[in-house]
Amino acid sequence: MTGIISYGAYIPKFRIKSEEIAKVQGHDPNYILKEILIEEKSVPSLDEDSMTMGFEASLNALKRVNIDRKRIGAVYSGSESPAYAVKPNASIIGEALGIGMDYTSADVEFACKAGTAAMQMVFGLSKSGFIDCGLAIGSDTAQSPPGDLIEHTSSAGAAAILVSNKEEEIIAKLEGMHSVSSDTPDFWRRPEEKYPQYAERFTGAPAYFKHVVQSAKELMKKTKTSPKDISHVAFHTPNGKFPLKAGSMLGFDKSQLESNLIVSKIGNTYSAASMMVLTHILDKAKEGERILLASFGSGAGSDAFLFSVTKSIKNLNKAKTTQEYIDNKEYISYGEYCKLTYL
């Protein structure tokens, strides 16, 4: 048995409105608001990067439970914007959390699904009994070419989950996992390039929808579940439109997909995105509810997980909720945005 025993999120407080970006770049703000459902996005401050945000999210996870930090035997961090090209975020976060040095760690990269790949690694080590507790982090300060439409979505945030195989501690039991991968060149960034490139419409049907729908479908088949057995769904959220469309393709209704719309207020937090939706769901989840998560990473792949919420969720300590982070904001101008993102 394995499952989530705690979780945490972190979102920087600065926000820039789509209207502000649209005004500078000459975009149609109605398209951004109504077609891709993005109102504003988070912006990291000068002293924030994927490592500091990953640390904050992990700290929130540790605040919710009273465990001996030395129990953590693995820290995996997923990001496509690591603080260093060579030097892991994971070991800096582990050190800062004070978990000693008897743990394994590594940084993971798979575009926007690096965080869920880290989750799988921790679940595997935990279920096999190699570790007692493990930490998986997804964190990104996403980059986008100025003037491109993805400038409205690329944002910053982190999410972390703490995993254990002790039944009494588990708040969301892992019922199953399924992943799909393929060589699909929908979005990429080469070494030394400042901004990613993407293949426009190719990022939709043959990339996001094909992989997300397939991983979720296969997982439901494996676990003998159907949309009606599931209370909440967390997808990767490149914008507001994609998760809603993937959900309707799979037969989920709007109420099951509600948490995905946090993207409208914070943007696409890349490696953190689907995990961020999961933290938003866990903040309100009740015993007996089932949660389906399907991430998406360009390149391309999707990791799907099915969780069932246990009664232990009531025993968690208080920590800042994802909604509190979403609501704690300060708007900035495009000029300030340029300064903060070194444009």
In angstroms, give the least distance from the CB of 202 to another protein.
Answer: 6
Quote the least distance from Cβ 206 to another protein, whole Å: 5
Half-sphere exposure of 262 (CA within 13 A, CB side): 29
Q: Tell me if 285 sits within 8 A of 199, measured CB to CB.
A: no
CB of 297 to another protein, least distance (A): 19
- Please check whether residue 278 is in contact with residue 313, taking contact to mean a CB–CB distance below 8 angstroms: no
Closest to another protein by CB, 35 or 229: 35
Decide: residue 261, CB within 10 A, 0-12 exposed, 13-18 middle, 19+ buried.
middle
- Catalytic residue flag (residue 112): yes
Site residues for another protein, window 24-43 (CB under 8 A)? 28
Residues 179 to 218: which contact another protein by CB under 8 A?
Answer: 197, 199-202, 205-206
CA 146 – CA 342 distance, rounded (Å): 11
Measure the CA–CA gap between 259 and 289, rounded to whole angstroms. 15
Tell me how many residues contact another protein (CB under 8 A).
Answer: 8
* Residue 109 a catalytic site member: no
Nearer CB in complex with another protein: 201/228: 201
Judged by CB, which is closer to another protein: 176, or 185?
185
- Give the Cα separation of 213 and 5 in Å (integer): 27
106-135: contacts with another protein (CB under 8 A): none
In angstroms, the first-to-last Cα distance of the chain is 47
Cβ at position 1, least distance to another protein in Å: 41
Residue (28 or 330) nearer to another protein, CB: 28
- We find the least distance from the C-beta atom of residue 244 to another protein, in angstroms, to be 20
Assess contact for 274 and 294: CB atoms under 8 A: yes
**Which CB atom, from 197 or from 317, has the smaller least distance to another protein?**
197
- The active-site residue out of 39, 80, 151, 169 is 80
Strands 156-164 and 3-10: antiparallel
Active-site residue 287, yes or no? no
C-beta closer to another protein: residue 55 or 208: 208
Which candidate in 20, 40, 48, 112 is catalytic?
112
Cβ 18 to another protein shortest distance, Å = 16
Q: What angle do CA 179, 185, 187 make, to 5 degrees?
A: 90
Residues 6 or more apart whose CB falls under 8 angstroms from that of 306 comprise 174, 175, 176, 177, 219, 220, 223, 225, 230, 290, 291, 292, 293
Does 330 help bind another protein (rule: CB under 8 A)? Answer: no
Cβ–Cβ under 8 Å, residues 128 and 1 = no
Active site members: 80, 112, 236
Q: Footprint of another protein on this chain (CB under 8 A)?
A: 28, 197, 199-202, 205-206
